[in-house]
Amino acid sequence: MRETDFVSGFARGLKVIEAFGEARPRLSIAEAAKITGLDRATVRRSLLTLSELGYADYDGKFFTLTPKILRLGHAYLSATPLSMIVQPHLDQLSEKAGQSASVSVLDGTEVVYVARASQRRVMSINLMPGSRLPAYCASMGRVLLAALPETQAREILSRTELKANTPRTKTDPEELMAELRRVREEGHAVIDQELELGLCSIAVPLMNARGQVVAALNIGAPAAHVAAFELVERYLPLLQETQAALRPLLR
Q: Rounded mean pLDDT of 145-173?
A: 97
Residue ranges of the chain that CATH labels 1.10.10.10: 3-69
CATH superfamily of 80-249: GAF domain (3.30.450.40)
- The answer to whether 188 and 239 are in contact (CB under 8 A) is yes
pLDDT at 104 over 90: yes
pLDDT at 77 over 70: no
pTM for this predicted structure = 0.74
User: Which is more confidently placed, 212 or 75?
Assistant: 212
Residue ranges of the chain that CATH labels 3.30.450.40: 80-249
155-189: burial string, b at 16+ Cβ within 10 Å, e else: ebbeebebeeeeeebbbeeeebbebbeebbeeebb
pLDDT tens per residue, range 30-54? 999 999 999 999 999 999 999 999 9
Residue 27 one-letter amino acid: L
CATH fold, domain 3-69, is: Arc Repressor Mutant, subunit A (1.10.10)
